Structure 1
Amino acid sequence: MKLIPFCIWAVSALACGSALAQQAQPAQPAAAKAAGAPQFTPPPADAIPEGPFGDAVRRGQDIFLHTGKFASQYAGNSLNCASCHMDAGRQPGASPMWAAYVLYPAYRAKNGHVNTLAERLQGCFQFSMNGKRPAADSQTIVDLESYMYWMAKGAPTGVKLAGQGFPALPKPAQEPDYVRGQKVFEQHCTLCHGAQGQGQHDATGRMVFPALWGDDSFNWGAGMHSVSTAAAFIHANMPLSRGGTLTEQESWDVAYYMDGHDRPQDPRYAGDLQATIKEHHGGKNDLYGREINGKVLGADSPPAGGRLTGHAPAKSTQ
């Protein structure tokens, strides 16, 4: 499979499908090899069983790879689950699904209570997909849970496995910088994601490379809006199959640049920017509400919900 150089944070659905077809096993990022953490390898993609349960797993895999096609009623942008959870949710250091499954239910500071796995998936649709929360007992959620369960079969529960999440980066030597980040972006990222971060779609409107900001990207409530989260993902996973190529400082800088642009509004926003900042934002790595290049981020964001609210995401090709 031919890999296109340094495409921040996403493998296209097409590329993920090719990886499945070829049974690709990506190299494990060095940062994903947590010292002392249990090791686990998910079953190969061609080992999905036959029968009703296997059918649910396959549907979950389809939703994961082609979210806008198989869960269009809940998706408000053109991203796929595999945009963040690379190699169909298999790749260590890219928040793999087999490592996430064994950690739920879990308390999350984001909403201040213990979350079930279903609630965690609902949040992904609402924030990362800028869409609508499926019901916890919907076929969409059940199929995704089935896919995750199948990938995690045999893994120990209640412990962090090697490769879980995005490997955290230490604080940068210098404060993240927009101008330095722009240079990194222009050198490594525009080929895939466009000079304006708009991403690329094919002639049918299907995502090839996702938008990193703007109407068709994740909204201000998504985890990737945090500079530290984005920097950790970028350093561990980019360039494709060559995590660690960028320095830690470059990863922080380009994450700051990416998150220093406007995107759809936080769904929790109720008309008062300062109240939203106070309740849900305001951290050091959170640019929501800050003035960058003369624009207060979040003050005039497009409505959350994307095409689900009639605010159609832009479709562009390069």
Structure 2
Amino acid sequence: MTTTPAFILKPSRPVAARTVLRLGSLALALAGAGALTSIAMAAETPSAPPKSEINASVGTGAKFVPPPESSIPNDEFGKMVKLGRDIMLDTPKYAKAYVGNTLSCVNCHTDAGRMAGSAPLWAAYVSYPAYRGKNKKVNTYEERLQGCFMYSQNGKAPPLGSETLVALQSYSYWLSKGLPVDEKVAGRGYPNLPDPAQTPDYVRGQKVFEAKCAICHAADGQGQYVNGETVFPPLWGPKSFNWGAGMGSYKNAAKFIYANMPYGMSYSLTPQEAWDVAYFMDAQERPQDPRWTGTVAGTRAKFHDSKFSLYGTKMNGKLLGDIGAPKPR
């Protein structure tokens, strides 16, 4: 595998090429071939899949395969499905009015929301309506999507019934064709991760980031851009997800990183490395939680009372989240 991030080159318009670009934007890093050592050793055994087939789904037991894009119907419904796919791949372009950063949905839901073990849309769609502890009520699928815009996109919620939400729901519905409703689906969310052998550590995480992630996300974690378009997303700072996002839990971030990163090298980090680099990432400042109560202490007590949230804790002498009220959207 080459260590050159070749997919930063802007592809032509066809879907497959655009998908490659958007998948490239998700990479935590493309490190050297040496990072594949553990995978290579596993691949030598008869029961292991070829290295080319190792992706997030391998650790999930998922059997479901969503329909190919070529089967999207050529009618009015199909147009809405395609719009939902386009929003996934380039959210700032296709849902500009509701986005407050440079991230796209595909940054957390790889392969345009198709990949098992990367919070696939097909598994989420059949799991709603459902109660969410985050807002302490039963949420419809559209309401769940609204949360992504508020927190991960650091924007504002599209109105229920808006074209943006209808398109994403149509795409998710189409992807889930054949799945039973309201049953546990293998591949939903991110695969479980073993508890860390050592308490996650900032210094160790920084070393993992510098060795495996900075090549794509830049030394300052602010990502990379080509012609004004996000190629590798920012992991913290004003253009990244806010403190209310699911990735603001370093446990969630560690599970995602372990199964999906560096991009194209799933499960190449050790569990400890995933925990450490997630801790380092979440120990950086980012936009304010939109649920801000007026004080950092009050916001932490109400929304971040978890050992996996670093909001409201001191890191390198700075109180994380002490940046004032969220900017209006």
Please state which band the TM-score falls in when normalised by the shorter chain.
Answer: 0.7 to 0.9
- Corresponding residue of 2:260: 237
Instruction: Tell me the secondary structure at the aligned position of residue 258 of structure 2.
Output: helix
Residues 13 and 80 in structure 1, CA contact (< 8 A), matched pair in contact too = no
Q: CA deviation at 1:18?
A: 2.1
Q: Secondary structure at the match of 2:131?
A: strand
* CA 1:64–1:57: 2 relative to 1, 3 Å: same
Deviation at 1:282, TM superposition (A): 2.1
- Please say if 1:33 is aligned against 2:32: no
> Identity over aligned residues, as a percent?
51
Pick aligned residue for 1:209 from 232, 247, 255: 232
Paired with 1:101 and 1:71, the residues of 2 have a C-alpha distance of: 20
- Per the alignment, do residues 227 and 13 of structure 1 end up closer, same or farther by CA in structure 2, a change over 3 Å counting? farther
Contact kept, 8 Å, 2:292 with 2:326, in 1: the verdict is no
> Is 1:164 equivalent to 2:188 in the alignment?
yes
> Which residue pairs with 1:313 in the alignment?
none
- For residue 135 of structure 1, report the CA deviation from its aligned partner: 0.5
Change beyond 3 A, Cα 1:164–1:3: farther
Which residue number in structure 1 is paired with residue 250 of structure 2?
227
Segments of 5+ residues of structure 1 without an aligned counterpart are 309-318
Give the TM-score, by structure 1 length.
Answer: 0.87
Shift of 1:300: 1.7
- Evaluate the alpha carbon distance shift between residue 62 and residue 151 of structure 1 in structure 2; reply closer, same or farther with a 3 A threshold: same
Question: Within 2, Cα distance between the matches of 1:215 and 1:301?
Answer: 13
Q: Give the aligned residue type for 2:136.
A: G
Query: What is the aligned partner in structure 2 of residue 18 from structure 1?
Result: 17
1:197 alignment partner in structure 2: 221
Q: In the TM superposition, what are the counterparts of 1:2-17 in structure 2 within 5 Å?
A: 17=16
Where in structure 2 are there 5+ consecutive unaligned residues? 24-51
Inter-partner Cα distance in structure 2 for 1:277 and 1:50? 49
Task: Summarize the Cα distance change of 1:17–1:264 in structure 2 as closer, same or farther, 3 Å threshold.
Answer: farther
Q: What displacement does 1:79 show?
A: 0.4
Q: Which of 101, 120, 126 pairs up with 1:102?
A: 126
Read off the aligned partner of 1:165 and give its amino acid letter.
Answer: G
* Preserved contact between residue 116 and residue 188 of structure 2 (Cα < 8 Å): yes
Q: Flag the 1:224–1:14 CA change in 2: closer, same or farther, 3 A.
A: farther
Equivalent AA in structure 1 for residue 122 of structure 2 = W
Computed over aligned residues only, the root mean square deviation of the Cα atoms, in angstroms, reads 2.6
Report how far residue 45 of structure 1 moved.
1.3
Superimposed CA distance per residue, residues 37-66 of structure 1 (whole angstroms, 9 cap, x where no aligned partner) = x62110011110011100100111111111
The corresponding residue for 1:268 is 291
CA contact (8 A) 1:39 1:161 kept: no
For 1:247 and 1:19, locate their aligned partners in 2 and report how far apart those are by CA, in whole Å: 31
Conserved in 1, the CA contact under 8 Å of 2:57 and 2:187?
no
Match of 2:35 in 1: none
CA contact (8 A) 1:197 1:213 kept: yes
TM-score, reference length from structure 2: 0.84
Q: Which of the two has greater helix per residue? A: 2
1:40-55 superposed matches below 5 A: 40-55=64-79
Contact 1:176 1:256 in 2 (8 A): yes
Mark the CA change 1:201 to 1:230 in structure 2 (over 3 Å): closer, same or farther.
same
| Partner SS for 2:231 | strand
What is the number of equivalent residue pairs in this alignment? Answer: 297
Task: Quote how far apart the aligned CAs of 1:19 are.
Answer: 6.8
Structure 1 residue 148 corresponds to structure 2 residue 175: no
Between the aligned partners of 1:288 and 1:140, the Cα distance in structure 2 is 31
Cα deviation, 1:4-25, whole Å, max 9, x if unaligned, reads 56x9xxx999698527489x99
User: What secondary structure sits across from 2:98 in the alignment?
Assistant: coil
What SS does the aligned partner of 1:73 have? Answer: helix
Which letter maps to 2:291? R
Of 116, 120, 124, 2:148 maps to 124
- Given that residues 129 and 140 in structure 2 are in contact (C-alpha distance below 8 angstroms), is that contact kept between their aligned partners in structure 1? yes
